[in-house]
Every structure is written in structure tokens, then in C-alpha cells.
Homo-oligomer: A and B are copies of this chain.
């Protein structure tokens, strides 16, 4: 029975993601991303499951930064959980009572059509996230309703007045499965490789140069998130998901290029993509092409 720490409390989407690790997993809710990762580093849990990205609100900075700062961990898998937006209120509030709707601007844009038809004359109050909106509604007197992901109703003790009111039915949150640093997962042909790359600060075109390390080997990026290094303005590191596996020569040569280029590059793992799409490199960037080139070089060198 492997132990899996996850960002709690119970009832959140993270728990749904953690359940995807298997029926026999023992789930341990914890209070923060770093605490979840600490459980893994200290050996109290085999795995940790934390959110990394939301298709509406963007990257989860706490996770991005923890991956950059905690040594000894690696990503072993990813899981997607669909996000349904519901209209929630404090218990007792009726649809006709709603004057102010609190939520993240993108979630509001997603729900505007439904609200115009069903809550005419309402006002939108923007919030930093749908979760903070739910928290504010539950604890304060701000607004009359929130648009938030279904799980928030249980956490903040809110009542759902209408379900799945968003236009984009494909909104989702992505979670990662973290374990102790070790050998990457075996290659499946549908893999991604995650790295964190700090830009050198002695030249202006650093980001361009970094991206060329991938482009020169035909490696596509499915995600790129900028984060400050934190010592002063203008210094960034990038959290990157690249298509392909460490066993792919295109990835290997790109990683070596990053190692030479960057003052600090962190390999976070190669693992199967949740969407199962192919990650094989094309054209002259296949392993076949790389191996033929290496053979030719070895012959030249004699």
C-alpha cells in the first residue's frame, strides 16, 4: 500500500487526481505543496500529487517554485482532472438575490452567456482565483455568489445553485506525481520531459538562445512558464515541458545544450503524457537519424 501525499483538504480536485495512482494507494492530505514534497523527500510517502497548471488560471507558482528549490525530487507522471464551473452561494441565498458575482475574470468570461440569461443585471467583481473567490464568499460579506470549480463547494461549505455553466467544456487542471529523484520512467512513445532552466544574465537574447536549443533539434514545447529567480528584476528561470523522452537523442542533445548554456538547469523527469499523443520526433530528428550521424562521426574519427 504505497503512501501518497496530496495537497488537501479531502474533497478537492487534487484528491481526484491522487486517486488515479491506484486503488491501493493510501492518501495523505497535507497543507501545502512543499509539505507534500517534504513527505517524499523524508521518505514518509512514496509519492506526492500536486497541481501544476490550470487551463484557465495558469501555472501554480507554489509548485513551480518548489520544484526549482527542493532538491531530490522528480516527476513520474501527470494526471488531468476536468474542471466544471458552478454557481455557488452562501447557504440560503436564492438566484433572485444575486446582485454581485465574484470570480476570476477568465472564469467569468466562460460563464457570461449563462449569467446574462439567468442573472440579468448582475455585476462582476474580479478575484485573483476561483478558490480565493469561494473563500472570500464563505468568510466575508463580499458579493452574493461565486463561480468556482465544483470541489470548492464542499471545502468552503457553499451551496451549488447551477452546475457546469461554463462555455468551454474542456477546462481542466493538470497534476503531477512526484517521487524521489531516480531513473526516469521507461519511454512509451508518448512522453514529456520537464526541466527548469535559469537564463544567463550576461546577454540580452538569453531566452531566444535557450529556445533555439530546442528548436535546433526539432523539439516542441507544450508548456513554458516564466518565474523570477528572485534576487533582482530581470532575472528569470523557465519551467518547461518538452515533447519526448530522455532516451530520445533529440531531447538528450537539447538537454546537453541547455547544460552548457545555462548557469543552472534542473532535470525534473521524463514520463508518460496524460493525453497519450505521440511524442516521437520527426524528419531529421528521429533516433534513427541521430544514430546514423553518430556512426558516421565515429567512422570519421577512425
Give which listed residue, B58, B220, B296, contacts A259 with CB less than 8 A.
Answer: B296
Tell me if A105 and B285 are in contact (CB < 8 A): no
Which residues of chain B come closer than 8 Å to A292, judged between CB atoms? 259-260
The chain B residue with its CB closest to the CB of A258 is B293
Complex formed: what's the CA distance from A177 to B224 in Å? 29
Query: Hey, which chain B residues are within 8 Å of A170, CB to CB?
Result: 232
Q: Pick the contact of A109 from B61, B127, B204, B230 — CB < 8 Å?
A: B230
Residue A12 CB within 8 A of the other chain: no
Chain B residue at minimum C-beta to C-beta distance from A69: B105
Q: How far is the CA of A65 from the CA of B105 in the complex (A)?
A: 8
Tell me the residues in window 131-171 of chain A with beta carbons closer than 8 Å to chain B beta carbons.
168, 170-171
A197 CB, min distance to chain B CBs, angstroms? 13
Q: Can you tell how many copies of this chain the complex includes?
A: 4
Residue among A58, A222, A289 with most chain B CB within 10 A: A58
Cβ contact within 8 Å between A204 and B221: yes
User: Which of B53, B205, B267, B284 makes the CB contact (< 8 A) with A300?
Assistant: B267
- Answer whether residue A294 sits at the interface, using C-beta atoms and an 8 A cutoff: yes
Q: Which residue on B lies nearest to A302, using beta carbons?
A: B183
- Distance between Cα atoms of A63 and B63 in the complex (Å): 21
Quick check: is A234 within 8 A (CB to CB) of the other chain? yes
Contact check, B260 vs A230: say whether CB atoms are below 8 A apart. Answer: no
Task: Point out the residues of chain B lying under 8 angstroms from A255, CB to CB.
Answer: 293, 297, 300
**Provided the pairs A208-B215, A294-B256, A300-B267 are in contact, do residues A126 and B233 lie with their beta carbons within 8 angstroms?**
no
Give Cα A125–Cα B253 distance, bound, in whole angstroms: 38
Complex CA–CA separation, A260 to B297 (angstroms) = 11
A297 to B247 CA separation, bound complex (whole angstroms): 10
- Report B-chain residues with C-beta under 8 Å of the C-beta of A174: 233
CB neighbours (8 Å) of A35 from chain B are 125-126
Q: Is A172 an interface residue (CB 8 A)?
A: yes
Further pairs besides A58-B228, A66-B105, A222-B234: 4, Cβ < 8 Å: A35-B125, A56-B230, A256-B294, A260-B290
Give 17 CB contacts A-B under 8 Å. Answer: A32-B125, A57-B61, A58-B226, A69-B105, A106-B230, A109-B230, A207-B224, A208-B208, A208-B212, A212-B216, A216-B216, A223-B233, A225-B226, A226-B226, A252-B301, A259-B292, A260-B293
What 9 A-B pairs have minimum CB-CB distances, sorted nearest first?
A256-B293, A106-B230, A260-B284, A34-B126, A259-B293, A204-B220, A58-B228, A183-B302, A260-B289
